[in-house]
């Protein structure tokens, strides 16, 4: 796994979600990127039950990524997080007296993977309750695991097809005690998706939002 940046891309003016996704596909293909199958990332929300302190319960997010199909990632609101095998979902069912699934809050991003030299790019439609809520872009530079050594290169590549929508350095890297020179792990990527999904949950349903 390399250094990964996940961001939300606005829907182009006068276009639908799918039309904007198609435009991004075309830009990547013009650069010479090659399709390499599909991907998905999803997130289920759980809230603690029986909180005796009277304080608001922290939410627990259970996430999955097609890049690591045998793993589940669990992140508490505000941290910490853990990585477990796929049986973690079965465990959550058994813990239903302690954690209740928040129905209707599942968010997922599905789309196409592209390979361009040492970059892996994933363009996804973010959906909630079968309605498209936005567009995610994930760019992974597979040749490096230290954000401080390659961020400028990643940013330059993203500018080639995102233009003014290119994001700044993800906060997940700058918030670490050791800063930009800490090796990345899969939780860095999932934390970025969790932040994106949180923004998407607050958005209204977009016009032309039926997921195909």
CATH of the domain at 92: 2.40.320.10
Q: Please report whether residue 32 resides in a domain.
A: yes
Two tokens at 167? 């994001």
Domain with 194, as residue range(s), is 3-204
| CA gap 22, 139 in Å, rounded | 17
Q: Please report whether residue 71 resides in a domain.
A: yes
Q: Please report whether residue 209 resides in a domain.
A: no
Within 10 angstroms of residue 207's Cβ, the number of other Cβ atoms is 10
The number of folded domains in the chain is 1
Q: Please report whether residue 211 resides in a domain.
A: no
Residues ≥6 apart with Cβ < 8 Å to 206: 11, 16, 17, 131, 132, 133, 134
Q: Please report whether residue 26 resides in a domain.
A: yes
Residue by residue, pLDDT tens for the chain (212 residues) are 899 999 999 999 999 999 999 999 999 999 999 999 999 999 999 988 866 566 667 789 999 999 999 999 999 887 788 899 988 988 888 888 888 888 778 999 999 999 999 999 999 999 998 889 999 999 999 999 999 999 999 999 999 999 999 999 999 998 877 778 888 888 999 999 999 999 988 876 655 555 54
pTM of the predicted structure, to 2 decimals: 0.89
Q: Please report whether residue 84 resides in a domain.
A: yes
Q: Please report whether residue 210 resides in a domain.
A: no
């Amino acid at each position: 796994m390399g250094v990964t940046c996940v961001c939300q891309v606005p829907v182009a003016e006068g276009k639908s979600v799918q039309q904007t996704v198609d435009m991004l596909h075309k830009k990547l293909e013009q650069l010479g990127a090659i399709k390499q199958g599909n991907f998905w990332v999803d997130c289920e929300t759980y809230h603690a039950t029986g909180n005796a302190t009277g304080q608001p319960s922290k939410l627990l997010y259970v996430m999955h990524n097609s890049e690591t199909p045998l793993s589940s990632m669990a992140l508490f609101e505000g941290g910490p997080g853990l990585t477990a095998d796929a049986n973690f979902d079965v465990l959550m069912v058994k813990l239903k007296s302690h954690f209740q699934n928040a129905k209707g809050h599942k968010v997922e991003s599905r789309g196409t993977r592209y390979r361009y030299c040492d970059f892996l790019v994933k363009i996804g439609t973010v959906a909630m309750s079968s309605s498209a809520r936005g567009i995610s872009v994930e760019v992974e530079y597979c040749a490096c695991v230290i954000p401080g050594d390659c961020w400028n290169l990643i940013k330059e590549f993203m500018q080639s097809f995102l233009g003014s929508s290119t994001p700044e350095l993800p906060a997940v890297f700058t918030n670490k005690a050791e800063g930009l020179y800490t090796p990345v792990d899969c939780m860095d990527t999932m934390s970025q998706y969790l932040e994106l999904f949180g923004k998407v949950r607050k958005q209204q349903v977009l016009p032309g939002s039926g997921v195909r």
